[in-house]
Chain A
Amino acid sequence: SQQGEEDPQALSIQEGENATMNCSYKTSINNLQWYRQNSGRGLVHLILIRSNEREKHSGRLRVTLDTSKKSSSLLITASRAADTASYFCATDAKGAQKLVFGQGTRLTINP
């Protein structure tokens, strides 16, 4: 299986609730990034966490990184309908320049 696998594949919650998405990877990394993609659109960079960081916040986003478990989580608090999108994690493996993306989590926020 590929580097950067997200779960769940799909998540549907009510507006105002928190959404948590997880990402696992296989090799040692320099950084891990989260992106959002609205249907049929490009990627929007959300947050980058370095391998020596454990947690990072940006507005309603909270990202954690556990390098011992090779996993990361993205928490969106107080979700809004506008958060409906696909969310991807991407890893920047040591010794490589390319980003490796997971399959993504399709998040639906119900009003």
Chain B
Amino acid sequence: NAGVMQNPRHLVRRRGQEARLRCSPMKGHSHVYWYRQLPEEGLKFMVYLQKENIIDESGMPKERFSAEFPKEGPSILRIQQVVRGDSAAYFCASYSGGASVNEQFFGPGTRLTVL
């Protein structure tokens, strides 16, 4: 059973470009979370999605950021018109939804560098 997959692992963008980060949850998991980690800091929650629905986006910046988890395919975190402050590691985690404990399994992360 493959773990959570994220791609790309590293992404370099120039200011003003778009960044698209992909996350494939563990097989059988229908819940996906996105977290951001700035250098030397802990992870900060961004958004929680179930298939085709955004459940909690309280951690998402109001502009330029969006997330989706379509019926088919990976979850996508999209950052439009990137700025240098968007440089960070973005982690995705998945959860089965059926367990009594919210144990989230993390992917290896995508490290975004904005030049």
Contacts and interface: CB of A to CB of B under 8 A. Distances in A.
Interface of A: 4, 30-31, 33, 35, 40-43, 45, 48, 50, 88, 90, 92, 96-104
Interface in B99-115: 101-109, 111
Main secondary structure of the interface of A (DSSP, over half): strand
A111 B68 CA distance: 46
B34 to A, nearest CB: 10
A100 B106 contact: no
Interface stretch (B11-19, B41-49, B79-87): B41-49
Contacts of A103: 41-42
Main secondary structure of the interface of B (DSSP, over half): strand
Contacts, number: 58
Nearest to B59: A98
Given A41-B108, A50-B101, A101-B44, 7 more contacts: A30-B101, A31-B102, A42-B106, A43-B91, A97-B48, A99-B35, A102-B42
B102 A30 contact: yes
Interface in B67-92: 91
B38 to A, nearest CB: 11
Contacts of A102: 42
B56 A42 contact: no
A51 B106 CA distance: 22
Contacts of A35: 106
